[in-house]
Amino acid sequence: MNANPDALHAFMDAHPRVFVLTGAGISTGSGIPDYRDDQGAWKRSPPMTLQMFMSGEPARARYWARGMIGWRHFDAVQPNIAHRALAQLEKQGRVALLLTQNVDGLHEAAGSLNVVDLHGRIDRVRCMQCGDITRRDAMQRRLEDANPGWLSLNARIAPDGDADLDGVDFSTFAVPACTVCGGVLKPDVVFFGENVPRARVDTAWAHLERADAMLVVGSSLMVYSGYRFVLEASRKGLPIASVNRGVTRADPLITLKVEQGVEDALAPFA
């Protein structure tokens, strides 16, 4: 059912161990765009798939060129009051687990400790051959050193830390290889067409098993990797609250729906 924001306080007060799932809508207030409109439709072209990224140098040049431009803004984003509110609720012992579909690391920056980054973190880079992990800012320096002629470009930031570069020839863009083995470097995030690591999923299931309610913040739940946790919460008979503007995939399963801006709804908890 739809409800006013005061009902969210009553929901949180009634359930001391809440499993929280967040999506892109919690980070829009920090200047990171989301993917979908209030009807759940794509606002922009869907993200690059793993199969496309691994298909060859042209796809990877396109990705990393966009990423180099977008990172300059993305690296400077800060948590907003909604991130801080959830960190405060965790300090009060009221959050069983914070499972985020976002890759921006803003929950940890806000002070949340018990976080599972379901889709990984954009501030890390992983070699697809040897598995070596490096920092994204180190990759940024390598990208800029290898492509000085691209530094003057500016573009609108996109949801996952890249930028919307249209009508650009990427054939001259140089993509650095892994310094350990020479392999292909990829952001340490789960692309479409890639499986979420089993350990993350198992951790989330274990915490959901011990929770007494679920709160979904800023997610339309159109992606199954997050939606499945709502399905399981519903199967277990847990009350489910949602703070999100517009349609979600789980509307028939939601006990309490607060159609309000995420920051406004969560600010009283900060």
What DSSP character marks residue 177?
Answer: P
147 in Cβ contact with 254 (< 8 Å) = no
Secondary structure (3-state) at 124: strand
Phi and psi, residue 111, nearest 5°:
115, 0
The phi and psi torsions of 148 (rounded to 5 degrees) equal -60, -25
How does DSSP classify residue 176? P
Q: How far is CA 78 from CA 32, 118, 184, 270, in A?
A: 10, 20, 30, 15
Phi, psi (5° rounding) for residue 265? -70, -35
Q: Could you tell me if 226 and 233 are in contact, meaning their C-beta atoms sit under 8 angstroms apart? A: no
73 a catalytic residue: no
Q: Are 11 and 213 in contact (CB under 8 A)?
A: yes
With beta carbons less than 8 A apart as the criterion, state whether 65 and 247 touch: no
Which of the residues 83, 107, 119, 207 is marked catalytic? 119
Report residue 39 CA to chain centroid gap: 19
CA atoms of 249 and 229, how far apart (whole Å): 12
- What CA–CA distance (Å, rounded) separates 211 from 209? 6
Show the tokens assigned to 45.
């072209």
Mutual angle of helices 136-146 and 57-74, in 10-degree steps: 110
Q: How far apart are CA 47 and CA 77, in angstroms?
A: 20
- What residues act catalytically? 119
